[in-house]
Amino acid sequence: MSRSRDRSRRRPAYRRRPREFYALWIAATTTYGVGDIVSTIAFLTYVPEMDEANPIVVAAIDAFGFAGLVALKVVVYCIMVWISVVGARDGDALLYYFPPILLTLVGLFLTANNVYAMWVVT
């Protein structure tokens, strides 16, 4: 049986390599989801001298409290998973890999930034 070069007939990457798909998204969830949310809540709770810098996050927290922050993160996360799945279905490696890698890097940076700010201020 020969492999088809027609991308529409190939199984998406998340079906061919599910461990890779889950590993990428677990990293994104850990850093962007858990790490940034926990460090942001700790930062805003324990360092009242400093405020959140992102106006979208400020609006979400002002309107809905910390649940607004979590909801905003969930929406962004779901959009990025959708982009990754569409990329996998279309055979587009950039759209498949970029969203979880971007969220992981952003999550690492934001978490480190929050922890550093808490450490410097307190």
pLDDT, one tens digit per residue, over 4-16 is: 455 556 787 777 8
Alpha-carbon 7 to chain mean position: 27
Helix, strand, coil abundance in the chain, percent, nearest 5: 80, 0, 20
Q: How many domains does the chain have?
A: 1
Is 9 inside a domain boundary? no
Q: What is the pTM of this model?
A: 0.85
Is 7 inside a domain boundary? no
Domain span at residue 30 reads 17-121
Is 11 inside a domain boundary? no
**pLDDT tens digits, one per residue of 28-85:** 999 999 999 999 999 999 888 889 999 999 999 999 999 999 999 999 999 999 999 9
